[in-house]
Amino acid sequence: MRRSFPVCRSCGGEHLEMVMSLGHMPLANALLMPQQLQEIEPKYPLDLVFCPRCTLVQITETVPPDLLFANYVYFSSFSETMLKDSEELAHRLITSRGLGEKDLVVELGSNDGYQLQFFVKKGIPVLGIDPASNVARIAQEKGIRTLCRFFGEELARELREKGMCADIIIAKNVLAHVADLHGFLEGMRILLRAGGTAVVEVPYLKDLIDRREFDTIYHEHLCYFSLTALDRLFRAHQMILSDVERISMHGGSLRLSVSHEGEAEPSNSVGFLLCQEREWGVDTLESYLGFGREVENIRASLRSLLQSLKDHGKRLAAYGAAAKGAVLLNYCGIGADLIDFVVDLNPHKQGLFLPGVHLQISSPSRLLEEMPDYTLLLAWNIADEIVRQQTEYVRRGGRFVVPIPEPRVIGGG
């Protein structure tokens, strides 16, 4: 029997097609305190669907943003990879745009100031906008001007009325989180100065499918973008994708340069990638259906590998208490029967428990203290960074299990 879904978040199309279902999931970033472990956790459907009208891939459930972002546990500054990329982007924009003390850089979803700090160091005025009070407060303590608000058309008009126009707008890994896509993009159009540039980064749908990155599907990520879907979405708000770059961040992302309509033409890289997507079949359901079957195979093979290690007397831990880790563990049914504990570098997470599976989060130092034989690398997107940090664990014989795009073992002294 055909299931009925809400209308498309981008074009309003009513005929959405099922790609795959991850079942009912707890909120991936809803880490638990010890006293909450006996409480019933809310769970929501996690169904991925495709809109044949505009090609947008999206989930069907919209969890109220206040539940997701009011007190956010993801801090970008704890990733060396993220900081290095942010510094390089700031240097590139400062140099190419000749930014100075009379310009304004606005970041939407600015988190703890990890990106804007590199503009502040050069004396360039900034404004961060983020709805999470805890991360906004940390940015403010660093001297980074930050508004604790949800961004949209209303806030953009307020800022314009106060005389604020952005020479640069940065929105990194935030568009997928936005329930009101059109309000957000209209806000960008209003706030962006004539001749200004918006830099937008989103995880790339094609990489997600090719690399089987199913654990990046969770309730905070409402949309999964192809360039085709983005091109149509921005054009609806009189903005043009003037350039696109594929980057490795978050398992494969697109970095877009966006201009007001009439101020730029799409570069050859935009046209080339749009052509590639047409050849791939971006507008046909069949291009997506095999993804669900491959994900089921990963679940079976990963559980089999971990169970075999456990049966042979090996001790197992996991590294990375990010949302993707919670999704992978819950979908694959991996809990305390296989994993003893989880470690994460972020001290704000240590002492808490992952949702659903209720595994305790500790400091990475626990790996050396207890020396589990194998550590499941939940934060596979920064695998190189973690392995570098854990050279002593590897030297002593510790090994990592990397689950994506297929389970494999690395390391071992």
CATH of the domain at 323: 3.40.50.720
- Residue 22 placed within a domain: no
- The verdict on residue 102 lying in a domain is yes
Residue 101 belongs to some domain of the structure: yes
219 and 105 belong to one structural domain: yes
User: Could you tell me if residue 328 is inside a domain?
Assistant: yes
Q: Same domain, yes or no, for 234 and 340?
A: no
- Which residue among 201, 228, 263 closes a domain? 263
Residue 67 has what pLDDT? Answer: 75
Domain co-membership, 184 together with 118? yes
CA angle 212/329/24 to nearest 5° reads 85
Check whether residue 146 and residue 205 sit in a common domain.
Answer: yes
φ/ψ bin of 286: left (φ > 0), alpha (ψ from -120 to 50), beta (otherwise): alpha
Write the DSSP string, 270-328.
Answer: HHHHHHHHHHHTTT-THHHHHHHHHHHHHHHHHHHHHHHHHHTT--EEEE--SHHHHHH
| Whether residues 250 and 313 fall in one domain | no
Counting Cα atoms < 13 Å in the Cβ hemisphere of 251 gives: 24
Give the Cα-Cα-Cα angle 270, 275, 277 (nearest 5 degrees).
100
What CATH number should be reported for the domain holding residue 106?
3.40.50.150
Residue where a domain stops, chosen among 263, 279, 301? 263
Phi, psi torsion values for 395, nearest 5 degrees:
-60, -35
Q: In the chain, how many domains are there?
A: 2
Q: What is the pLDDT of residue 270?
A: 98
pLDDT the model gives residue 1:
30
CA distance 360 to 351: 6
Q: Is residue 14 part of a domain?
A: no
* Final residue belonging to a domain, choices 248, 263, 278: 263
Question: 173: domain range?
Answer: 76-263
272: in domain: no
The answer as to whether 56 is a domain residue is: no
Question: Averaged in consecutive runs of 10 residues, what is the pLDDT profile of the chain (413 residues)?
Answer: 69 94 94 95 95 97 77 59 90 95 96 94 96 90 94 97 97 94 98 97 96 94 97 98 93 95 96 98 94 94 97 97 95 97 94 97 97 96 90 95 94 69
Cα separation, 143 vs 331, in Å, equals 41
- Co-location of 256 and 315 in the same domain: no
Cα distance between residue 146 and residue 141, in whole Å: 10
Q: Is residue 52 part of a domain?
A: no
How far, in Å, CA of 230 to CA of 174, rounded?
A: 14
- Note whether 257 and 314 are same-domain residues: no
Same domain, 234 and 294: no
140 and 247 part of one domain = yes
Give yes or no: residues 161 and 303 share one domain: no
- Do 85 and 145 fall into the same domain? yes
Residues 402 and 310 in one domain: yes
pLDDT at 2: 38
